Homo-oligomer: A and B are copies of this chain.
Amino acid sequence: MIIAIGLYPGFTALDALGPYQVFTTVPNAEVVLCAAETGTLNDDQKLLNLHVDATFADVPRPDILLVPGGPASLALARDNAPIVDWVRDAHPHTRWTSSVCTGSLILGAAGLLDDLPAATHWHFRDELAKYGARPTDRRVVVDGRIATGAGSSAGLDLALTLVAEFAGPELAQGIQLALEYDPNPPFDAGSPSKAAKPIVDVVSFMMDAFEKEWSRDNSTAGRMAAPRGA
């Protein structure tokens, strides 16, 4: 069982590392972090200097493929970046092709979501619809071999859902227990239907600004960013 998590400069750490934590706890599953090029890769905060030593070409046939979201994902999807090709070529052979947050846009750009229900970050549902998907407000959508999750933290729920499918509910529950995933956030504001309207508006504004900043500063989207301080 090979589980490939496809990274790119400007991914959101939690989108990738939530599922990573679940999948690496599965006995005999090999998790591979890969990217278009080997080398050091930054997250969207430019603080997480991750050394990736596998390329997409090194993992052409993963059993599970997962693409995290992040502000850079919009441009990657629009520009048909290498990660889109990787997803398109690998998908016919995967057991599940999956995404967290705006990683769904990359699945959409690869032509995988045409007329399918799919989850994404709540603020980017309209963007996802441009790729022919039918965005939902569900947290995890498993439609045949395609599994999509909502914003960032939904990756935990997505990964546990897939583990239950391929390794049984007992193992999924064991991993949930090992990670003490008995969530109890101090507020109930995790979706736009639950948060106060002014908070939804401010967060929408900031997410747009963050995405635009990334598009502007990273015109070579998908290429390796220089390490911080370089």
The residues of A with any CB-CB pair to B shorter than 8 Å are 12-14, 17-18, 20-21, 24, 31, 33, 40, 45, 47-53, 101, 121-122, 139-140, 150-154, 156-157, 160-161, 164, 169-170, 172-174, 176-192, 194-196, 199-200, 202-203, 206-207, 227-229
Given known A-B contacts A20-B13, A199-B174, A161 and B182 have beta carbons under 8 A apart? no
Given known A-B contacts A154-B180, A177-B195, A186-B164, A45 and B31 have beta carbons under 8 A apart? yes
Among residues of B, the one whose C-beta sits closest to the C-beta of A202 is B174
Given known A-B contacts A50-B50, A178-B207, A196 and B184 have beta carbons under 8 A apart? no
CB neighbours of A174 from chain B (8 A): 189, 195, 199, 202-203, 206
Nearest 6 pairs between A and B by C-beta? A151-B180, A182-B190, A173-B189, A183-B183, A49-B51, A14-B21
Given known A-B contacts A51-B227, A156-B153, A181 and B185 have beta carbons under 8 A apart? yes
In the docked arrangement, what's the CA distance between A134 and B174, Å? 26
CB neighbours of A185 from chain B (8 A): 156-157, 160, 176, 181, 183
B40 touches A51 (CB 8 A): yes
